[in-house]
Amino acid sequence: MTDPILQVKNLDIRFRIDKKHEPFRAVKGISFDVPTNSTVALVGESGSGKSVSAMSILGLLPENAIIAPESEVIYGGRNILRASASEKLAIRGKEISVIFQEPMTSLNPVFPVGDQIAEVLTQHMGLSGKAARERAVALLAEVGIPNPALRVNSFPHEMSGGQQQRVMIAMAIACEPKLLIADEPTTALDVTIQKQILDLLASLQEKHHMSVLFITHDLGVVGDIADTVVVMQNGEIKEQGQVHQIFHDPKDAYTKALLACRPRLDRRPKRLPVIDDFLRGDVASKLEERPRGTKESDAVILEVKNLYKTFFLKEGFFGKREVAAVKDVNFRLRKGKTLGLVGESGSGKTTVGLTLMRLHDATSGEVLFEGKNLLSLTDREMMAYRRRIQIIFQNPYASLNPRMTVGQILVEPMKIHSIGKDQAERVEHAFSLLKKVGLSEASFYKYPHEFSGGQRQRIAIARCLTMKPDVLICDESVSALDVSVQAQVLNLLQDLQDEFGLSYIFISHDLAVVKYISDQVMVMNEGAVVEIADSDQIYLNPQQDYTRKLLSSIPKGLEHQAA
């Protein structure tokens, strides 16, 4: 048996916070191997220490990091943690390279992508300008960028998210590294683009005989790419083993919890188990099935007829080009039910949601809310309806004002819409809503930066509830969350629907989540509705090729679970 390409031994990392406090211990003496020509998945929630562990291999930790003297990362027969700066620079990018999570913050926005790939080749391979450019074109072709000879001149903002990630992969494999570290490379991507990136990484690994350290918080994608899984929590390794063993016979309660938090395709429990349920052994009560679906007799609260939305894009100095983002969309949302909207980026699903709210002006069509066409109302008339249709945005970091306390964020919309007879009553209502979404009254006095992503999304939900809405539009509202936090938010949305009879339009690219929470699913592609049916029916018997394509892209890890 060949020696592993990388051995991590007793890795212990602390971070200095300030002079008053003891350094925070982020990684607690972990050990694992990366075998030659193999893929190891490092799995855990945010804060588990997985990215810190990986970045220590490359010497990319911040200055306040303290690596314990006994820690070792053995590569090429030596401990590279103790290598000099010049030795690390020679290894980094050439023998060990990395794909970061967010390509738009990793790529330089002022240089064409070809120049950025060529820089790596010039730095590590000594290629001249022309040779480096030719190699950059070849690399773009290898990672599946169309028209690479033209796209080599493109700037990052001129490419889609999936294409940006492919450019990052091209840069990472430019010098044919022996080890590739992929840090959450598919987290924010559509399910189809995610599958393309995973397939690309697998084919490149086989072609170049690379080893891969794949970092993710989602066990669902692990089945597509990994040979071995290392599960981390709070800086410790809870379990490691072959991917089949981890999926079919997990030993640790935390691993079982991570697997169970993710909505499954073969079941729909009334409540998703969360991490604490497994640690307490309280799982049985969560497994009762929840029926889903719609009936013709169900009351319709919102009906959309022949909705069109066109944008005009500037072209040249004086020209403009018409782009139809939404084309003849028709659907009904039934009271107390959830309509899931799925499709790839650019399919028009978010534009539909924003147009219903009149955050975009519709080109034509009708949006009938209890029989009243919202698109024909004046702004003054619309105010009463804005309160009844609310939206939860994808990014809770951007949708909450950082200069306002949580209390101000919750009370302001009540004041604008004259909800509550005075300030005291509004504050009392805000306290009750915080409790309802699982936050303490002390949260009222804090600022958004003092909360985690999942807690911020709860605050965003509480803000919507201040309006006592009838319809909630959830725009990718759980896509960026850890699976355990995602389960908590999905449970909260379901509890609120049960209690208040809310109707949801749930926009997402995560097909497993959509199946779990939706009564009906509407599939969109290039602005048009491809297919609409009850959620069980559309997953068991899709009628259209595009729907089948989406469903075939669901990560295989979920199939392993169901097996």
pLDDT of residue 560: 45
Q: Are strands 96-99 and 65-67 parallel, antiparallel or unpaired?
A: unpaired
pLDDT of residue 331: 95
Instruction: Of 83, 10, 16, 14, give the one whose Cα is nearest residue 49.
Output: 14
439 in Cβ contact with 458 (< 8 Å): yes
Please state the φ and ψ torsions of residue 346, each to the nearest 5 degrees. Answer: 90, 0
Span(s) in the chain for CATH 3.40.50.300: 1-83+210-249, 300-562
pLDDT of residue 561: 46
CATH 3.40.50.300 holds for 1-83+210-249? yes
In this prediction the pTM is 0.79
Instruction: Of 66, 60, 12, 274, give the one whose Cα is nearest residue 183.
Output: 60
DSSP for 242-309 reads EHHHHHHS--SHHHHHHHHHSPPSS--BSS---HHHHHHT--GGG-SB------TTSPEEEEEEEEEE
pLDDT of residue 282: 64
Instruction: Of 557, 511, 559, 560, give the one whose Cα is nearest residue 214.
Output: 557
pLDDT of residue 375: 93
pLDDT of residue 511: 85
Treating both helix axes as pointing N-terminal to C-terminal, what angle do 191-208 and 161-173 enclose, rounded to 10 degrees?
A: 10
pLDDT of residue 200: 83
Task: Kindly provide the b/e burial profile for residues 68-101, where b requires at least 16 CB atoms within 10 angstroms of the residue's own CB.
Answer: beebbbbbeeeebbebeeeebeebbbbbbbbbbb
List C-alpha distances in Å: 194 to 116, 205, 391.
Answer: 23, 17, 26
**CATH of range 300-562; options 3.30.1360.120, 3.40.50.300, 3.40.50.1970, 3.40.50.620:** 3.40.50.300
The rounded average pLDDT for each run of 10 residues, N- to C-terminus, in the chain (563 residues) is 85 88 91 93 87 91 92 92 88 88 81 92 87 92 86 85 83 89 78 80 87 86 87 93 90 85 82 78 66 89 94 73 87 94 85 91 92 90 87 81 93 90 92 87 90 82 88 84 81 88 90 91 92 92 91 67 43
